[in-house]
Amino acid sequence: MATITPTKATKATPAIAFNLKTATLRTLFEMTRTIADLDAIRALLDWDQQTQMPLGANGVRGEQIATLETVLHAHKAAPALGKAIAKAEAALAAHPERFSDADRALVREARRSHAEATKLPEHFVRDYAVATSVGWEHWQAARTAQDFSLFASDLERIVDLQRQKAQYLDPAAKVPYAVLFDTFEPGMDLATCEQALDQLRQATVPLLKRVQAAQQVDNGFLQGTFPHDQQMALSRRILAIIGYDFDHGRLDLAAHPFMTGLGSPDDDRLTTRVDEHDVVSCQMSVMHECGHAHYELGIDPALKRTILGGGTSSGIHESQSRTWENIIGRSAAFWQGQYHVLQDAFPTPFKQVPLADFVRALNRVEGSLIRVEADELTYNLHIIIRFEIEKDLIAGKIAVRDLPGIWNQKYYDYLGVTPPNDSVGLMQDVHWSAGLFGYFPTYSLGNCYAAQFAATLRQAHPDMDARLAQGETGFIREWQRDTIHRWGSIYQGDDLCRRVTGEGLNPAHLIAYLTEKFTRVYGL
Ligand code: ZN
């Protein structure tokens, strides 16, 4: 297995270093190191809870996590940290030439984290924790019962708390939703995101109509019986092929697949789930999570155990997973190089299925109900629906009680489908019950960034498809590491995008990619 070695400093990739000779910065560095370590320990408890922990330990684990959260909050909100940040800011302003981009980013991120911890009053944090914990339970029960009314009043409470949160974080904000969005995509204004998603909607809806009018692609052979152990063995093989480093990670099972960084770039773990009737969903999810892991495993060792030692924003993080899941994992070139691996794992049916048919099946487009199962073309419409709804909810333009009707109408208008019940409609995603308002749009931003980065990658490697077809994947990971991964959180999302591609977020790249791909797949 290829391990990822630290990047050597060259003209193109200068060394990353902190200026620790300055006492002010050293103090701040040490204080935030404790926060970074505690954050990683918090993530480890969570990973264990979702993958290994016996069910009976749920109660005690909840208490342990609550205790750790209190300790973590005390560190983030400590007045001594506030003083250290202020001193470092003064030093930076007085002698900017003495400090590196890493130094500036350390101070910026420390300020962000401290501000968030101190602006939210203790009673609010407690109310919020209770509301989301009870809300999550009720969401699950309501989903099982297919009865939104069991969750509606919790959601009303959570929406109200979101408005309060925005108010605490930025009392002067004109658009509370923008404040919530900023916690996931720092540095990008909401208008830029709105514009991008609007462009995406305008391009996607007519393209989808053309696809739907064309002859549908057959994907029947992707369904069948594919035993669990064989699927897991295939997953490990695919991970090895795309360069996942098992010396610094592992693959486990979880109800909802995720990647977690427990000390990047040394320990970044994956989870997946297996559907024995579907051969593709597990492999795609593994490639997706591996894209997240590549990001964290590629972070420069100088950022280890610092508050900059993680991905810079939700959108950029998602761009890395989407690159491996979609742009590579659903491409003809990749499967040209790897189809024999799938054929070895499941001779029936794949020895009988021509490669071209398999690739077309992987890219079948369908107006569907469930976001996480959506194809690349319709996926963004699922996001746009949530984005429009949550903006209106936070702005008070629509009421929680009216959500089922609003949701179903939008699904009909954009995707041509109507959910038979709210469990496969507005209650399908965990996000709102967990208080994650402002998060959904970053999924589509991730798709935009992925296509934009891919265009630049193609300029650097015009022979990309030929190399993929020969089975090579390492050159892509290396390019990503040198241009994107190694910087951790030093640069904010859109700033990083500009540095890599020469321009800020530009959805035209994704639109061009989708148009080219589905025109080809459907012979439009
Ligand atoms: Zn993801």
Give the other-Cβ count within 10 Å of 10's Cβ.
9
Residues that are catalytic:
289
Residue for token digits 């620790």? 20
The reply to whether 492 falls in a domain is: no
Domain assignment present for 392: no
Per DSSP, the three-state class of 22 is coil
Average pLDDT, stretch 320-329? 98
**327 CA from centroid of ligand 1 (Å):** 14
Q: Burial letters for 150-175: b for 16+ Cβ neighbours within 10 Å, e otherwise?
A: bbbebbebbbebbbbbbebbbeeeeb
pLDDT tens sequence across 191-242: 999 999 999 999 999 999 999 999 999 999 999 999 999 999 999 999 999 9
Q: How far apart are the first and last CA of the chain?
A: 42
pLDDT category of residue 12 using cuts at 50, 70 and 90 = low
pLDDT value at residue 19 = 85
Q: Residue 11's pLDDT is what?
A: 54
Q: Is residue 155 part of a domain?
A: yes
> Is residue 417 one of the residues assigned to a domain?
no
pLDDT band with cut points at 50, 70 and 90 for residue 4: very low
> Can you give the pTM of this predicted structure?
0.95
Residue 202's CB is within 10 A of a number of other CB atoms, namely 12
Residue 202 lies in a domain: no
The answer to whether residue 158 sits within a structural domain is yes
- DSSP class of residue 284? H
Confidence of residue 5 (pLDDT cuts 50, 70, 90): very low
Q: What is the CA(329)–ligand 1 centre distance, in A?
A: 14
d(C-alpha 474, C-alpha 257), whole Å: 24
Please state, rounded to an integer, the average pLDDT across all residues of the chain: 94
**Cα distances (Å, whole numbers) of residue 464 to 118, 494, 510:** 48, 25, 18
Range of the domain at 139: 23-174
Angle at which helix 376-394 crosses helix 403-415, to 10 degrees, equals: 150
User: Measuring CA to CA, which residue among 291, 236, 235, 260 is closest to residue 480?
Assistant: 291
Rounded distance between C-alpha atoms, residue 235 and residue 505, angstroms: 33
Q: In angstroms, what CA-CA distances link 355 with 329, 331, 337, 481?
A: 14, 11, 10, 30
Number of domains in the chain: 1
Distance 325 CA to ligand 1 centre (A): 10
For residue 100, what is the DSSP state? -
The answer to whether the CB of 150 falls within 8 A of the CB of 135 is no
The reported pLDDT for the residue numbered 361 is 97
Q: Mind giving me the DSSP string for 109-166? A: HHHHHHHHHHHS-HHHHHHHHHHHHHHHHHHHHHHHHT-THHHHHHHHHHHHHHHHHH
In-domain check, residue 439: no
> Which of 325, 285, 346 has its CA nearest to residue 447?
325
Q: Which residues contact 356 (CB under 8 A, 6 or more apart)?
A: 332
pLDDT in tens, 14-45: 789 998 878 999 999 999 999 999 999 999 99
For 107-133, what is each residue's pLDDT tens digit?
Answer: 999 999 999 999 998 889 888 988 988
CA of 318 to the centre of ligand 1 (A): 5
| Numbers of helices and strands, H then E, in the chain | 21, 3
Cα of 524 vs centre of ligand 1, distance in Å, is 30
Q: Which amino acid is at 459?
A: Q
| Span from the CA of 255 to the centroid of ligand 1 (angstroms) | 15
In a domain, 77, yes or no: yes
